[in-house]
Amino acid sequence: MDDSQGAHRGLVDQELVSIVARFVNIRWLAGLGLLGATWLATAVFTLALPETPLYVIGAAILAYNAAFHFILRRILRTKSPNIVWLHRLTQIQIGLDWLAMTAIIHFSGGVESPALFYFFFHIIISAILLSPRATFSYAAGATLLVGATVLLEYVGWLPHFSPLVDAASDLHLRPIFVSGVMLFFVSAMFVSAYLASNINSRLRRREREVFELSENLQRAYSRLQTLYDSAQAINSTLELEQVLDRIVRRTADTMNVRACSIRLLDETGTRMRVAAVYGLSDAYVRKGDLVIDQNPLVREVLGGKVVAVVDVRTNKRLQYRAQALTEGIYSMLSAPLRGKKGPLGLIRAYSTELNHFTEADASFLAAMASEGSIAIENAMAYRALGQLDEMKSKFVLMVTHELRSPISVIRSLLRTMTGGYAGILSDGQKDLVKRALHRADFLQALIDDLLDLAAGKNELGLKEERAEVRLDEIVRQVVERFEMAARENHIELEYRAPERVPVPVCAGMEGLDRVFNNLVSNAVKYTPGGGRVSITMSLEAGWARVIITDTGIGIPEESLDHLFEEFYRAPNAKAQVKEGTGLGLAITKDLVTRYGGQISVQSAVGQGTTFTVTLPLAAEPPA
Amino acid sequence: MANEKILIIDDDDDLVHALRLPLEAAGYKVSRAASGNEGLQFIKDFKPDLVILDVMMDTTTEGFHVSLTLRSPEPHSEYKEFSKVPILMLTSIHATTTLRFGPDKDYLPVDAFMEKPIEPAELLKKVREHLAKKQA
């Protein structure tokens, strides 16, 4: 608020300077005009004017105006013009002008002088430049000066000049004429002083109102803009620390205050910890948590109110009053952060001035708080989700490790048995052991897949070494692996390499092998005898594309959406091949995504399926 | 060929059982140590012709430690006389990592790897192979 008043005063002062400057300019004309008019009246119209004093007055006007001109230029050249000086200068100018005017009136006929009317200009000028009181005192001063001159001429202590009427005229000696002219002169002076200063002060007031309004409008607009910008900036990230940091920074900058902080409720809901801070010292930040039980102010804010601390020195409700004063903070404004499920914490702005915050500040902070609450809640949800995912992955990893070990021992033992190393088995025993082994093998496959999936999703899991590998070689090896199986089932299996090899991609060798092994194995598994499986690789602008097409049983439309989900198997696939973990395609997709690629599927039941894998090419190998 | 001595260093009783049966059936003399340290003690008396070593026992790298100790390049190593004894390493690492294990003179001085679960015929084949190599 103070700032805007200061700015307003600055604006008025600027206007004063420009008016004073304009009068200096006009006064050149007045001085020259007097010289010209005197010459015209005496030389051309041969009026009986005392020309020498009038020329002297004209020269004096020009001389003191020149002085004002230089003083004004010097004042204006300094960075912040001294306003007191400027006012004094204005008063001296008016005073000198009036002395000159009085002298002109005396030499141009006293009470008979037509120059009397010129006083009205000065009244209007002083009404514009000075306060109403000063204007009235100048009117009184002018009345005294003119009255004294007229009186002195009347009593004969001053000589009288009669340029307009004939020399023998004694108008200036007739009391009725003198008092009549003076009465009208004085009343006209005061009426015009009243009217001019009245109109002027109204204009001033209107001007100030307009200025304040436009100032408020400007501020409201800038805050709205900030709110909008902030909403965008805050929501452009889901990392909680970043979100909080942006909110405090923006708020402090926009409100033009020293500092801003965000405190969030801890898990117990009894304390509030600093979560983000801008503009406060470390010592102040480390002072401790806000304890809700001991802090009625915080309770009020958490209840949903925006609360201002007008004077930190006298506010008994503050938990850390001494620390705030040491930090140089004299007023605060706090607004609640509220999520969908209840209070999250509070946002607080700190000022080094007493009673700094206005209604507008309060509503701005409240708006910022509600905008920020949404972003904070989103970021918190995102973080919780990430933690949950990580926990789940770790759990799966641990469990599968524990499952894997006994299964592999069971299989080892059963194989020892089927191998006949524990004595000869009867046919019935052998059949039972084989069935058990078969189930154990499946369980092992399931656990291996699960482990792969968990390891893939777990950042902390054993990371796969990535390198530049030859995609064309890997796919060719996979295809060769299935040649035997394809021939046995009378399936035509073909591989079309791209026009240009090698095809370098940045990936894990084992992972890529797994991807294409899964896809080709599925294609062969679900294609009936006499069918065809073809694998085609092509290159285009930085990408390698591998298309695996079969003439197999196809995938029902309603299954396509679920195909890459964990444990999902299409019903017709289940009917054909009983065992399958339903994890193969989930792993495939996970791997392809990790290598920066994409996988898509098209299929029609009874006609066949096409999987398309695209992977980004690694930088061209040196030729 | 028979009566050669094989030391199994593994903490899993059941797996040791699955290994022991086919090996004994093939006529080898089999002994077992339940930890890396026990194995390193035992080896001096037992003087095996071949060692079957589990990668992970109490600590995940216990097997590595045993193989490095046996193959220590120190001129005065107390295991100098065993530095030529073939080592078969049992792993179940496949599903958790794509680290490619390969025998490495400096870092992982073993002669062969065997993936769990154990296929008896495969086991016997590998054992025979490495014993023959040692003799040669």
Question: Which of A404, A419, A461 has its CB closest to that of B22?
Answer: A419
- Is the pLDDT confidence value at A460 over 50? no
Asked if A415's CB is within 8 angstroms of B118's CB, the reply is yes
> A416 touching B, CB under 8 A?
yes
B60 touches chain A (CB under 8 A): no
Q: Which residues of B touch A411 (CB under 8 A)?
A: 117
pLDDT at residue A216 above 60? Answer: yes
- Does the domain at residues A237-380 carry the CATH identifier 3.40.50.150? no
Cα A579 to Cα A13, A367, A515, A567, B16: the distances in Å are 92, 58, 19, 12, 30
Q: Do A408 and B99 lie within an 8 Å CB cutoff?
A: no
Q: Is B75 on the interface with A (CB under 8 A)?
A: no
> Does the fold of domain A467-616 match that of domain A237-380?
no
Domain boundaries, chain B: 5-135
Kindly state whether A447 is in contact with chain B, defined as any CB-CB distance less than 8 angstroms.
Answer: yes
Record: contact A409-B12, CB cut-off 8 A: yes
d(CA A345, CA A173): 90
Q: Give the whole-angstrom CA distance, residue A394 versus residue A460.
A: 8
Number of Cβ pairs closer than 8 Å across A and B?
70
Rounded to whole angstroms, the Cα distance separating A58 from A47 reads 18
* Helix/strand/coil (H/E/C) assignment for every residue in A281-349: CHHHHCCCCEEHHHCHHHHHHHCCCCEEECCHHHCCCCCCHHHHHHCCCCEEEEEEEEECCEEEEEEEE
Compute the nearest-CA separation of B124 from chain A (Å): 11
With an 8 Å Cβ cutoff, is B116 touching chain A? yes
Q: Which CATH number, 3.40.50.2300, 1.10.760.10, 3.90.380.10, 3.60.10.10, labels domain B5-135?
A: 3.40.50.2300
**Is B98's CB within 8 Å of A404's CB?**
no
Listed by start position, the domains of chain A span 2-212, 237-380, 392-457, 467-616
Which residues in chain B are contacts of A455 at CB distance < 8 A? Answer: 95-97
Q: What is the pLDDT of residues A167-189, one digit of tens each?
A: 667 777 888 888 888 899 889 88
User: Which 91-110 residues of chain B touch chain A by CB within 8 A?
Assistant: 92, 94-100
pLDDT tens by residue, A567-617: 788 888 877 776 777 888 888 998 898 888 999 999 999 899 999 999 999
Q: How far is A482 from chain B (nearest CA, A)?
A: 21
**Residues A123-158: tens digit of each pLDDT:** 887 787 777 888 888 888 888 988 898 889 888 888
* Helix axes B120-135 and B13-25, enclosed angle (nearest 10): 60
Task: Give the residue among A563, A558, A553 at the shortest CA–CA distance from A607.
Answer: A553
Beta A608-616 vs A598-604: how paired, if at all?
antiparallel
Contact A455 B94 (CB under 8 A): no
Domain A467-616 falls under CATH 3.30.565.10: yes
Closest to B46 (Cα-Cα) out of B12, B15, B8, B78: B8
Mention every residue, 6+ apart, whose C-beta is less than 8 A from residue A600: A611, A612
Crossing angle between the packed helical segments A427-457 and A359-418, to the nearest 10 degrees: 160
**Which tokens in the block code for residue A541?**
């602008």
Query: Which of A241-250, A315-324, B101-110 bottoms out in mean pLDDT, i.e. has the lowest?
Result: B101-110
3-class secondary structure, A371 = helix
A192-201 pLDDT, tens digit each: 889 988 888 8
Q: Which tokens hold the place of A102?
A: 């009085």
Contact residues on chain A for B21, CB-CB shorter than 8 A:
416, 421-422
What is residue A455's predicted lDDT score, i.e. its pLDDT? 67
The whole-number average pLDDT for the span A430-458 is 80
Secondary structure element (H or E) that encloses residue A468, with its range:
strand A467-470
Question: What pLDDT score was predicted for residue A620?
Answer: 57
CB contact B22 to A (< 8 Å): yes
- Whole-number Å distance between alpha carbons of B68 and A402: 27
- Of A503-512, B27-36, B71-80, B95-104, minimum mean pLDDT range: B95-104
Q: Which of A451, A465, A509 sits opposite B95 (nearest CB)?
A: A451
Cβ atoms of A475 and A495 closer than 8 Å: yes
Structure tokens at A55: 């020329």
Mutation target to probe the B interface, by most B beta carbons within 10 A, among A403, A404, A410, A415 is: A415
Closest approach of B50 to chain A, Cα-based (Å): 20
Q: How far apart (Å, rounded) are the C-alpha atoms in residues B113 and B103?
A: 8
**Cα-trace Rg, chain B:** 14
Q: What is the nearest CA distance from A459 to chain B, expressed in angstroms? A: 13
- Write down the pLDDT at residue B28: 94
Task: Kindly state whether A465 is in contact with chain B, defined as any CB-CB distance less than 8 angstroms.
Answer: yes
Contacts of B116 in chain A (CB under 8 A): 408-409, 412
With CB atoms and an 8 Å threshold, state whether B118 touches A448.
no
CA distance, residue B3 to nearest chain A CA (Å):
18
Structure confidence by residue, pLDDT tens digits, B25-52: 999 999 999 888 899 999 999 999 999 9
The ipTM value here is 0.78
For residue A81, whether the previous peptide bond is cis, meaning omega lies within 30 degrees of 0, is: no
